[in-house]
């Protein structure tokens, strides 16, 4: 056997052993949980690749705001929009009965705010009104789908905005992604294959400032670990079912290397605290795996 062939076999055996160790740890975390748990991990520099249920099409909820923001920034890159352009906020687009820091900030008066503020609030604070304002600006969910399709993103579908998801619990399942798709699109983003360098740097900074879901992916990681992330959550329906408790992100390791991770907890009858703890525990297990 040639040396290159032997080396390949040795690397494959080592990778399999690593995956087995991580898989056992993750299995112990999700054992007996009444939920569908999907996990994908992709090492950027060492090509480490792991997934559990990574091809299942599961509801994204607000994770899709990353994809929406990227599509909007593609318009910026093409000169069709500007981060400085003013967006009108008023009662017609600041709906009540939904999560919206923008509405809470500007509820007493009509306002003109820069597009950059809408993106910041939509991604870092997961503002639902901001999300739908961005979608309206670029022509709806079909524009996001076309953009992702054009970039070779598979296992992803977006059909409905936040307002529609609030009206009908079931439509969230039409906005789906696989966790494998999520880590792959994060790698494309990191590599500058989605957006210009300027827009990539900008969105990365916004994601690094995400303030939602502090009890999920970052909870057990060392303080001040850089994690560019986007959360998503459905809450529970009248039957006590959680459609989605999700998070995706790019983690920077102490050695300067990176990995993408996507964690989806779907169709769960566990408590919100348990769902979030599953994400937190798996995130810590993956971190430990990369820092052995």
What is the CA angle 84-139-58, rounded to 5? Answer: 105
Per the residue annotation, which of 62, 100, 126, 181 is the catalytic one? 62
First to last CA, the chain: 32
| pLDDT tens per residue, range 130-156 | 999 999 999 999 999 999 999 999 999
Query: Does the annotation mark 62 as catalytic?
Result: yes
Do residues 134 and 68 make contact, with C-beta atoms less than 8 angstroms apart?
yes
Is the pLDDT score of 1 beyond 80? Answer: no
Contact 278, 58 (CB under 8 A): no
Within-domain flag for 4: no
Q: Contacts from 225-229 at CB under 8 Å and sequence distance 24+? A: 225/251, 225/252, 226/251, 226/252, 227/251, 227/252, 228/204
Catalytic residue among 117, 162, 247, 270: 162
Distance set, CA 107 to CA 92, 95, 101, 127 (Å): 11, 10, 10, 14
**Per-residue confidence at 15, pLDDT binned at 50, 70, 90?**
low
Q: What is the mean pLDDT of residues 33-50?
A: 96
Is residue 21 one of the residues assigned to a domain?
no
Taking Cα atoms as reference points, which of 121, 128, 122, 126 lies closest to residue 163?
A: 128
pLDDT one-digit tens code per residue, 166-197: 999 999 999 999 999 999 999 999 999 999 99
Is there a contact between 120 and 206 (Cβ–Cβ < 8 Å)? yes
Model confidence pLDDT, tens digit, residues 86-127: 999 988 899 998 999 999 999 877 899 999 999 999 999 999
Cβ 30 vs Cβ 268: under 8 Å: no
Name residues whose C-beta falls within 8 Å of residue 66's C-beta, 6 or more positions apart in sequence: 123, 185, 207, 230, 248
Indicate whether 103 belongs to any domain: yes
Total structural domains within the chain: 1
Specify whether 162 is catalytic.
yes
In a domain, 248, yes or no: yes
**Which of 4-18, 131-145, 218-232 is predicted with the least confidence, judged by mean pLDDT?**
4-18
Whether residue 120 is contained in a domain is answered as yes
**Residue 21 and residue 230: Cα distance in Å, rounded?**
27
Who has greater pLDDT, 170 or 47?
Answer: 170
Please provide residue 60's backbone torsions phi and psi, each rounded to the nearest 5 degrees: -85, -35
What is the pTM (predicted TM-score) of this model?
0.93
Judge contact between 226 and 206, C-beta under 8 A: no
Does 13 fall in a domain?
A: no
Going by C-alpha positions, the residue among 212, 193, 179 that lies closest to residue 60 is 179
What is residue 109's predicted lDDT score, i.e. its pLDDT? 72
- Which of 149, 227, 231, 153 is closest to 185 using CA atoms? 153
Mean pLDDT of the chain: 94
pLDDT number for residue 20: 84
Decide if 183 is inside a domain.
yes
Which range of residues forms the domain containing residue 187?
33-291
Taking residue 179's Cβ as centre, other Cβ atoms within 10 Å add up to: 29
- Has residue 1 been placed in a domain? no
Which CATH number is 237's domain given? 3.40.710.10
CB 280 within 8 A of CB 217: yes
Q: Which residues contact 105 (CB under 8 A, 6 or more apart)?
A: none
Dihedral sign for Cα atoms in the order 158, 159, 161, 163: negative
Q: How much is the pLDDT for 18?
A: 60
pLDDT value for 254: 96
The closest alpha carbon to 257, from 290, 229, 289, belongs to: 290
* pLDDT of res. 11: 47
pLDDT tens, residue by residue, 236-289: 999 999 999 999 999 999 999 999 999 999 999 999 999 999 999 999 999 999
Q: How far is CA 219 from CA 81, 233, 281, in A?
A: 36, 16, 9
Q: What pLDDT band is residue 41 in, cutting at 50, 70 and 90? A: very high
């Amino acid at each position: 056997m040639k040396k290159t062939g032997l080396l390949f076999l040795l690397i494959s055996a080592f990778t399999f052993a690593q995956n087995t160790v991580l898989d056992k740890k993750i299995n112990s975390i999700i054992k007996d949980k009444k939920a569908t748990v999907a996990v994908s991990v992709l090492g950027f520099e060492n090509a480490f690749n792991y997934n559990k249920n990574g091809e299942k099409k599961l509801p994204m909820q607000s994770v899709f705001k990353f994809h929406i923001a990227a599509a909007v920034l593609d318009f910026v890159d093409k000169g069709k929009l500007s981060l400085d352009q003013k967006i009108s906020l008023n009662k017609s687009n600041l709906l009540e009965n939904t999560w919206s820091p923008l509405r809470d900030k500007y509820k007493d008066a009509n306002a003109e705010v820069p597009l950059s503020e809408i993106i910041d609030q939509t991604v870092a604070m997961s503002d639902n009104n901001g999300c739908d304002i961005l979608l309206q600006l670029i022509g709806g969910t079909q524009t996001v789908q076309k953009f992702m399709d054009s970039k070779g993103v598979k296992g992803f579908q977006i059909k409905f905005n936040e307002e529609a998801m609030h009206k009908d619990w079931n439509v969230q399942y039409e906005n789906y992604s696989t966790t494998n798709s999520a880590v792959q699109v994060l790698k494309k983003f990191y590599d500058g294959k989605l957006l210009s360098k300027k827009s990539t740097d900008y969105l990365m900074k916004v994601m690094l400032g995400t303030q939602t879901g502090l009890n999920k992916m970052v909870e057990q990681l060392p303080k001040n670990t850089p994690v560019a992330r986007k959360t998503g959550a459905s809450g529970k329906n009248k039957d006590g079912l959680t459609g989605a408790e999700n998070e995706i992100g790019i983690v920077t390791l102490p050695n300067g290397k990176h990995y993408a991770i996507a964690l989806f907890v779907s169709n769960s009858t566990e408590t919100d605290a348990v769902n979030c703890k599953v994400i937190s525990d798996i995130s810590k297990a993956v971190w430990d795996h990369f820092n052995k």
